[in-house]
């Protein structure tokens, strides 16, 4: 009986028209088609009209318009069908949807003569109640686009991302629905930033990237939870940040020499992966890093690396006491070479409550990243040590290894793990001293044709290391690039 049913099912399936004869694409509902469109730039969306008769007019009713330019020193000539403004004009002239949720215009080589066109494009988006607006001009553009006045009081915006644009610093801001704001390459002021906070009562996330003119950031808002400061320019530095209700802070990039934290008592995560322009890290780096670590000592998740980690290495080699921290999750971006190990030791000694350690391997460990400091010869000589002897000399200083550290993750390329004796020494030390460790995970990207013998040797070496915790599990999560 069961066999008969199977044959019957097969017979019915065979009697159906071949898959190639059925137009399944035309049967998709509009909502699904528009969802597919939302993942594509507009020039690819337009091309879908050749897939099916049903799809030919559908792109004109899409709710997401994403225009991506060329981001090069020059664009095709105006008579070319690929000329970017012509594409935008053509698409908008055929667009029939009454609303636009997303309007993105990026990597456009802007010239002052293009301003009327961009004004018209933005008016088009505003008239259709756009919620997600991105206007990021090419970084190679010689001119900045001056944002039109009608944009400052547009009440429907939920997300706004602008780059290479000029703000009128005397304008009043009214963005009552705005939750996410990102500004790149702009001239601002403390007063204008304050008007942004007052005019955006529900703002949750703010990114300032390479923005000049901001010296003091005072945030009283209960809604703003995330702040990102990226490379704030050579002519202006943020000197003070006061944000008692902020939950997440990222300070990344360069030129943060005078940066100070005032009140950030609510932080739950802090990313301090920045650098300071200085030939001698002793002059500015020490005081700045100690100040910041003191201010984030109660933050449960801390990220650092690069310049900061190597300044901490100097503090460790000089025996400078580390401020005790309540950090439970520590994330490091480092190649783990001989100039990083002391900094890692410094952070482990400071983080007495540490439960999870994640290391992202950033560059090939044989490269001397310490060269950026141009250290004196005597400073370089202090880092001429045997990695295993150095780590063993620090035993007993890491309370987290005795009581709390349960999980270690190391993420990078297979070559890093196999060729960095400093990284292998760190893994061996952690396995041998972490008494409550439950899992050590090595996530590595393998080349298309990995060296199986070399890979196996690395695995065997790590598995042979003594484990202080009887529950410690070692996991190799290898996958191809």
Residues 6+ apart with CB under 8 A from 321: none
Q: Report which of 303, 355, 293 is spatially closest to residue 324, judged by C-alpha positions.
A: 293
pLDDT digits (tens, 9 = 90+) for 264-320: 999 999 999 888 765 555 566 788 888 899 999 999 999 998 888 988 998 898 888
What's the rounded Cα separation, in Å, for the pair 412 and 424?
A: 13
What's the rounded Cα separation, in Å, for the pair 129 and 133?
A: 10
Per-residue pLDDT band for 9 (boundaries 50, 70, 90) equals very low
pLDDT value of residue 134: 97
> What are the distances in angstroms from CA 168 to CA 8, 57, 110, 160?
74, 40, 19, 16
Write the DSSP assignment of 337-361 as a string of letters.
-TTTHHHHHHHHHHBTT--EEEEE-
- Check: CB of residue 132 under 8 Å from CB of residue 159: yes
Per-residue pLDDT band for 455 (boundaries 50, 70, 90) equals confident
pLDDT digits (tens, 9 = 90+) for 104-142: 999 888 889 999 999 999 999 999 999 999 999 988 888
What's the rounded Cα separation, in Å, for the pair 429 and 336?
A: 14
pLDDT digits (tens, 9 = 90+) for 205-240: 999 998 989 989 999 999 999 999 997 554 456 888
CA 114 to the chain's CA centroid: 31
Tell me which H or E stretch contains 281: helix 281-295
Q: Report which of 95, 105, 36, 103 is spatially closest to residue 68, judged by C-alpha positions.
A: 105
What's the rounded Cα separation, in Å, for the pair 470 and 473?
A: 9
pLDDT value of residue 264: 95
Query: Of 253-262, 342-351, 404-413, which gets the smallest average pLDDT?
Result: 253-262
- Check: CB of residue 270 under 8 Å from CB of residue 289: no
Structurally, how many domains does the chain consist of?
1
In a domain, 60, yes or no: no
In a domain, 87, yes or no: no
In a domain, 430, yes or no: yes
pLDDT value of residue 47: 57
Sign of the alpha-carbon dihedral angle for 255, 257, 258, 263: positive
> Quick one: tokens of 105?
């215009």
The residues that bridge with 409 in the sheet, in sequence order, are: 358, 441
CA angle (21 as vertex; 16, 27 as ends), nearest 5 = 90
Phi, psi of 120 (to 5 degrees): -65, -40
The residues that bridge with 134 in the sheet, in sequence order, are: 104, 161
pLDDT digits (tens, 9 = 90+) for 393-443: 888 889 999 999 999 999 986 556 656 889 999 999 999 999 999 999 999
How many residues are recorded in the chain?
Answer: 481
Provide mean pLDDT across the span 144-168.
96
Phi, psi of 432 (to 5 degrees): -80, -15
In a domain, 120, yes or no: no
> Quick one: tokens of 297?
């000592």
Phi, psi of 134 (to 5 degrees): -125, 125
Collapsed DSSP state (helix, strand, coil) of residue 177: coil
In a domain, 412, yes or no: yes
> Quick one: tokens of 7?
């044959």
Residue in the block written with tokens 């949750």? 204
In a domain, 240, yes or no: no
Sign of the alpha-carbon dihedral angle for 27, 30, 32, 37: positive
In a domain, 108, yes or no: no
- Check: CB of residue 214 under 8 Å from CB of residue 193: yes
Q: At what angle do helices 421-433 and 341-350 cross, to 10 degrees?
A: 20
> Quick one: tokens of 3?
């066999």
Q: Which domain holds residue 360?
A: 321-337+345-481
- Check: CB of residue 75 under 8 Å from CB of residue 83: yes
> Quick one: tokens of 80?
């070319």
Q: Report which of 156, 152, 172, 75 is spatially closest to residue 114, judged by C-alpha positions.
A: 75
Residues 6+ apart with CB under 8 A from 226: 204, 205, 206, 246, 247, 248, 249
- Check: CB of residue 77 under 8 Å from CB of residue 107: no
What's the rounded Cα separation, in Å, for the pair 261 and 119?
A: 39
The residues that bridge with 217 in the sheet, in sequence order, are: 241
pLDDT value of residue 369: 47
Write the DSSP assignment of 309-332 as a string of letters.
HHHHHHHHHTTPPPPPB--SEEEE
In a domain, 396, yes or no: yes
What's the rounded Cα separation, in Å, for the pair 296 and 104?
A: 37
pLDDT value of residue 395: 85
């Amino acid at each position: 009986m069961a066999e008969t049913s199977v044959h019957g099912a097969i017979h019915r399936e065979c009697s159906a028209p071949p898959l190639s004869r059925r137009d399944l694409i035309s049967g998709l509902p509009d909502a699904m088609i528009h969802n597919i469109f939302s993942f594509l730039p507009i020039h690819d969306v337009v091309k879908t009209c050749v897939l099916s008769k049903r799809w030919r007019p559908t792109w004109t009713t899409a709710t997401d318009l994403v225009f991506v330019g060329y981001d090069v020193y020059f664009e095709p000539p105006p008579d070319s069908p690929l000329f970017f403004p012509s594409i935008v004009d053509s698409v908008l002239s055929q667009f029939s949807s009454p609303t636009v949720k997303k309007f993105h215009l990026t990597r456009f080589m802007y010239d002052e003569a293009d301003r009327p066109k961009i004004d018209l494009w933005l008016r088009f988006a505003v008239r259709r109640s756009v919620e997600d607006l991105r206007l990021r001009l090419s970084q190679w553009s010689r001119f900045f686009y001056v944002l039109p006045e009608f944009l400052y009081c547009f009440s429907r915006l939920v997300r706004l991302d602008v780059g290479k644009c000029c703000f009128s610093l005397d304008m009043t801001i009214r963005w009552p629905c705005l939750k996410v704001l990102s500004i790149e390459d702009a001239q601002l002021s403390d007063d204008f930033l304050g008007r942004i906070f007052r005019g955006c009562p529900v703002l949750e996330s703010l990114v300032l990237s390479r923005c000049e003119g901001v010296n003091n950031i005072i945030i009283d808002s209960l809604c703003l939870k995330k702040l990102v400061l990226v490379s704030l320019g050579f002519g202006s530095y943020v000197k003070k940040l006061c944000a008692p209700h902020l939950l997440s802070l990222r300070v990344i990039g360069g030129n943060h020499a005078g940066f100070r934290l005032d009140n950030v008592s609510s932080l739950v995560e802090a990313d301090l992966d920045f650098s300071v322009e200085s030939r001698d890290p002793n002059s500015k780096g020490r005081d700045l890093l100690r100040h910041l670590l003191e201010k984030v000592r109660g933050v449960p998740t801390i990220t650092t690396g690069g310049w900061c980690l190597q300044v901490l290495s100097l503090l460790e080699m000089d025996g400078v006491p580390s401020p005790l921290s309540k950090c439970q999750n520590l994330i490091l971006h480092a190649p783990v070479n001989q100039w990083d190990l002391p900094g890692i030791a410094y952070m482990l000694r400071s983080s007495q409550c540490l439960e999870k350690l994640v290391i992202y391997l950033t560059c090939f460990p044989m490269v001397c990243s310490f060269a950026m400091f141009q250290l004196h010869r005597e400073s370089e000589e202090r880092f001429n040590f045997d990695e295993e002897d150095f780590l063993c000399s620090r035993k007993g200083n890491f309370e987290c290894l005795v009581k709390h550290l349960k999980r270690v993750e190391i993420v990078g390329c297979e070559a890093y793990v196999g060729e960095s004796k400093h990284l292998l020494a760190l893994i061996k030390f952690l396995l041998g001293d972490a008494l409550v460790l439950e899992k050590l995970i090595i996530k590595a990207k393998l080349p298309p044709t990995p060296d199986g013998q070399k890979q196996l040797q690395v695995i065997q070496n790590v598995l042979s290391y003594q484990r202080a915790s009887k529950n410690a599990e070692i996991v190799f999560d290898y996958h191809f690039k």
